[in-house]
Amino acid sequence: MIVSKLSTYRRQNRTNKALWEFDNITKSLYLLDYVDLPMRRSNVHKALNRYEACYWLGAPSPMHPSVKIQSIK
């Protein structure tokens, strides 16, 4: 709902800028945690390895090239 409301306004309104800055802050905090916390890095690497193993084994996933997304009518 917020995105649809913001899309009707001009591009550089204050709320839109504030949301972009908030997004930048959350990304920065995540990256700092990733660098500082070994457990966070370990969890991210485990998740990536699990996904890549499924991808290379041919298991269908939303990102797999053989999976076709069907629209719901």
Give 7-65 pLDDT, tens digit per residue.
Answer: 666 777 888 888 889 999 999 999 999 999 999 999 999 998 888 887 676 655 565 55
First to last CA, the chain: 22
Greater pLDDT, 37 or 1: 37
> Which residues, other chains included, contact 6 with Cβ-Cβ below 8 Å and sequence gap of 6+?
13, 15, 16, 19
Of the candidates 46, 64, 47, the residue with the CA atom closest to the CA atom of residue 56: 64
Domain boundaries, the chain: 2-57
